[in-house]
Amino acid sequence: MTDKIIGLHHITAVSGPAKENFDFYTKVLGLRFTKKTINFDDPFTHHLYYGNYEATPGSAITFFPWQGVTQGSPSTGEATVVAYAVPTGSLSFWKEYLNKAGVEIISETGRFGDKSLLFKDVEGMKNELVEAGNIEAIRPQLHDSIPENHAIRGFYGTTLSLADTSRTAELLQEFGWEKQGEDGDSIRYSSKPENNLGTVIDLKKEPGLNGHFGRGSVHHIAFRVPDDNAQQEWRQKLIQMGFMPTPVQDRQYFRSIYFREPGGVLFEIATDTPGFTKDEPLGSLGTDLKLPPWYEQHRDEIEKRLPVL
Ligand code: ZN
């Protein structure tokens, strides 16, 4: 029997200009810039990774800054909210801080009894800060204006906007996630990873969102498995279930398979291994442009064409 899939690994979205994205996620939200690399399928585009200090699975929000991309808007069949976990008692700080930073709070009414702040990031993507328990011990990035006890630790979870939630719900149950309840149009599923990050997925019935994919759109959400063996088991299981997972792709810091879940969202299953310290030490993550070996011979041209952060 295959083990459970215990949480989110990363979430990847499309951004506008790289510098604006970098400034918002490091200077406003206070995340650590954990990896500067390229889109392995499009090497003249950055792939920017942000997370907590140790870049642990369940903390990585990543962006492809696409040149000249038009503004996206939410569509049915996408992840439409990315939620970050902050320690209990942090939201009053964040409300004042985001106000000062010029970030408008859209809502302070969370679902399922959550204490949360909803706002849009610089890309127009809906972000949420949610108070979560048992995360204080996770090491955050230090920031001049954000006290360490309030800093973001990683993901709380995400919201998937779907025409029909039932088959996605079945899939999450296969993954081992448990239904927590219903609130309005949303059904909540949760998991219990050891680090308490990326534990919540809300399936929201939103059949009529006719947006388009672009800046601020989530490209895919990735779930975590410990290693290649677990990933292979899940790949076989998905095939037996009628899905069409891709062959394993080497993403340097993890290995990935992708498939389209029944509601239309692109799902990935990524390995925790080898992790982000594969090619630079923990103390200097995000410092140098990292290329996979097969692009090293083109480093000069790639560096010339990438925008400055
Ligand atoms: Zn991914």
| CA 95 to centroid of ligand 1, rounded, Å | 30
pLDDT tens-place string over residues 268-288: 999 999 999 999 999 999 999
| CA 62 to centroid of ligand 1, rounded, Å | 8
Mean pLDDT of 213-240: 98
Residue 1, pLDDT > 80, answer: no
pLDDT tens-place string over residues 81-103: 999 999 999 999 999 999 999 99
pLDDT tens-place string over residues 128-181: 999 999 999 999 999 999 999 999 999 999 999 999 999 999 999 999 999 999
| CA 255 to centroid of ligand 1, rounded, Å | 9
| CA 131 to centroid of ligand 1, rounded, Å | 25
Q: Specify the pTM.
A: 0.97
Domains and CATH numbers, the chain: 8-305 (3.10.180.10)
Q: How many Cβ atoms from other residues are within 10 Å of residue 250's Cβ?
A: 12
| CA 256 to centroid of ligand 1, rounded, Å | 7
- CB within 5 A of ion ligand 1: which residues? 12, 222, 268
What's residue 280's pLDDT? 95
User: What is the CA angle 169-14-142, rounded to 5?
Assistant: 90
> Which of helix, strand or coil describes residue 23?
helix
| CA distance to 154, 203, 222, 243, per residue, from 188 (Å) | 19, 6, 18, 23
Which residue shows structure tokens 């080898």?
274
What's residue 68's pLDDT? 86
| CA 220 to centroid of ligand 1, rounded, Å | 6
| CA 221 to centroid of ligand 1, rounded, Å | 7
Percent residues over pLDDT 70 in the chain = 100
> Contact, 143 vs 150, CB < 8 A?
no
